[in-house]
């Protein structure tokens, strides 16, 4: 990697404790597979964003499991909270978690970038929230620095085409957040979780990226859904556990998506592949 470059990993919707009494819990196994993939990288990520729904039920026991995993990693972990999380229990375990008016919001400078973590949790609800207290803090925080900034939150305030997971785009919290983001062109990326799928779109004048979950994914289905008529459609599918890698080139952020687990390697860089690599790189230089 170039000297000015950085690698920011993202995991989301881990849902630890979905099977609280099962030592072989599926969600833990899937998260372990993602962590193993990140640790196997060379170079490794500079930081890991965990973008909410860290646990299924927000229990202290589940947060302790999550913290134990994080503490063993060779890079810092910055956590945001999702609708399955519990602020009080999270703070019980993560005692140094920053607080703004009772919300888990904070900024973290890393090299040439600034990462701003938002709290969109509305206790007892699936949908997101972002009130005036949180918005005023975000406004002030974005005014503090003109560094290229990544804004991190759990709930994507976007239309997805999947009716049962899409936010209300006219909700006050969505309009409030969009107004703040739109005033700050140095916000180069918004990264989210919640939707259990990889999604990229444009929102509030910047690029918004949704990370696939380490837990099971949400099935793709663009048909309207009738809450009064179950139609047997697929909803949750056991696609591989996912993660995102946001690669800072020194001038822009490029997002990749990967999966954890074991899968066949079809080619390696060896003597057989060397001519192809030499040809590709030679062409690149010839066309300058």
pTM of the prediction? 0.95
3-state secondary structure (DSSP) of residue 20: coil
Q: Is 22 exposed, middle or buried (0-12, 13-18, 19+ CB in 10 A)?
A: exposed
Q: What is the 3-state secondary structure (H, E, C) of 52-106?
A: CCCECCCCHHHHHHHHHHHHCCCCCEEEECCCCCCHHHHHHHCCCCCCECCECCE
Give 84-139 pLDDT, tens digit per residue: 999 999 999 999 999 899 999 999 999 999 999 999 999 999 999 999 999 999 99
Mean pLDDT along residues 58-75: 97
Helix (H) / strand (E) containing 174 = helix 172-182
**Taking a C-beta distance cutoff of 8 angstroms, is the pair 51, 39 a contact?**
no
The number of residues making up the chain comes to 288
C-alpha to C-alpha distance for 234 and 182, rounded to whole angstroms: 36
Q: Would the CA dihedral through 143, 147, 153, 158 be positive or negative?
A: positive
Mean pLDDT along residues 263-281: 94
Mean pLDDT along residues 216-239: 94
Report the pLDDT value the prediction gives residue 166, as an integer from 0 to 100: 86
Domains of the chain in start order, with CATH, are: 6-286 (3.60.21.10)
Band (163; pLDDT cuts 50, 70, 90): confident
In the chain, count H helices and then E strands.
Answer: 6, 13
Both tokens of 181, joined, read 């983001």
What is the CB-side half-sphere exposure of residue 162 using CA atoms within 13 A?
18
């Amino acid at each position: 990697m170039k000297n000015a470059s950085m690698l920011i990993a993202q995991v989301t919707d881990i849902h630890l404790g979905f099977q609280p009494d099962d030592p072989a819990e599926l969600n833990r196994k899937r998260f372990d597979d993602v962590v193993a993939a990140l640790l196997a990288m060379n170079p490794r990520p500079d930081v890991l964003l965990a973008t909410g729904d860290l646990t299924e039920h927000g229990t202290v026991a589940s947060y302790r499991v999550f913290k134990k995993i994080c503490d063993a990693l060779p890079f810092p972990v910055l956590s945001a909270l999702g609708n399955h999380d519990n602020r009080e229990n999270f703070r019980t375990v993560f005692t140094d978690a920053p607080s703004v008016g009772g919300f888990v919001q904070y900024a973290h400078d890393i090299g040439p970038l600034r990462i701003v973590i938002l709290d969109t949790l509305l206790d007892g609800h699936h949908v997101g929230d972002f009130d005036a207290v949180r918005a005023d803090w975000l406004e002030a925080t974005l005014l503090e620095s003109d560094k290229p900034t990544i804004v991190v939150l759990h709930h994507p305030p976007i239309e997805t085409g999947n009716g049962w997971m899409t936010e209300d785009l006219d909700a006050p919290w969505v309009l409030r957040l969009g107004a703040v983001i739109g005033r700050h062109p140095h916000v180069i990326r918004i990264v989210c979780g919640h939707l259990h799928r990889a999604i990229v779109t444009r929102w509030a004048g910047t690029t918004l990226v949704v990370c696939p979950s380490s837990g099971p994914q949400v099935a793709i289905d663009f048909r309207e859904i009738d809450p009064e008529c179950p139609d047997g459609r697929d909803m949750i599918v056991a696609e591989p556990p996912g993660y995102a890698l946001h690669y800072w080139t020194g001038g822009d952020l490029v997002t990749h998506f990967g999966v954890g687990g074991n899968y066949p390697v079809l080619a390696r860089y060896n003597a057989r592949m060397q001519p192809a690599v030499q040809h590709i790189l030679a062409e690149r230089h010839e066309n300058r």
